[in-house]
Amino acid sequence: MTMAEKTHASGYVEPGDTSERVGVKSIEERGVDVEELREKLIDAIAAEFTTYYYYTNLRMHLAGEEDYKEITEDARLEDRAHFELAVPRVYELGGSIPRDIRDFADRASCPDAYLPEDPTPEAILETLLEAERCAIRTWSEVCDMTRGKDPRTYDMAARILQKEVEHEAWFIELLAKERDDEVVPAGHFVRGEPGDAPYSTNTNINESA
């Protein structure tokens, strides 16, 4: 087969051109608004980053509730994993995160998960639950934007979404028991190590390739 017959050897981007990205052009051709996607990803990962910070404070105030602290720690570290997983995709799409962390935090797609003024276990669990629900809505939007058009971003977002759905179930279980004395099982299991994030780490994605 001659080079002329190798149809994927060339295209819109000239050989050696570093100002254009075939990986971006290909998803634009499939109907993805790349600029909109980049902005949505920045908002989403800003939420993951700030949630990691706020969960640190929330976890500290669950003194004496070691089971709650353990599960909150899993969610906290897994949110950090989401941040680290998604940031490179912004750059692959030709974007970047803000240079000022204050600007970055202001971009978060979810409200700040502040420590409640009355930091009872019930109030903290309610805050954790609503933070996870916002994350589910955010990553569901990313999945909707990229399904069937941008396999790389979709796979990443779907992996993160799986974890956020699991986190919601954890905090429903804990809050239902703490507040209402009801048993609403979530099927939570102990990670091999805190924050292993079985669906949403860079290691797992690379291993599955």
- Average pLDDT of the chain is 90
Average pLDDT of the residues in 43-66: 97
- pLDDT band at 209; cut points 50, 70, 90: very low
Reported pTM: 0.89
Query: How far is 140 from 90, CA to CA, in rounded Å?
Result: 17
Look up residue 113 and give its amino acid. A
Nearest to 92 by CA among 185, 194, 22, 10: 22
Between CA 144 and CA 148 the distance in angstroms is: 9
Contact 52, 83 (CB under 8 A): yes
Express each pLDDT in 179-198 by its tens digit.
Answer: 999 999 987 666 777 777 77
Tens digit of each residue's pLDDT (9 = 90 or more) over 59-95: 999 999 999 999 999 999 999 999 999 999 999 999 9
Contact status, residue 157 vs residue 32, Cβ threshold 8 Å: no
Nearest-CA neighbor of 194 among 68, 73, 69, 56?
Answer: 73
Domains of the chain: 33-203 (1.20.1260.10)
d(CA 157, CA 178): 31
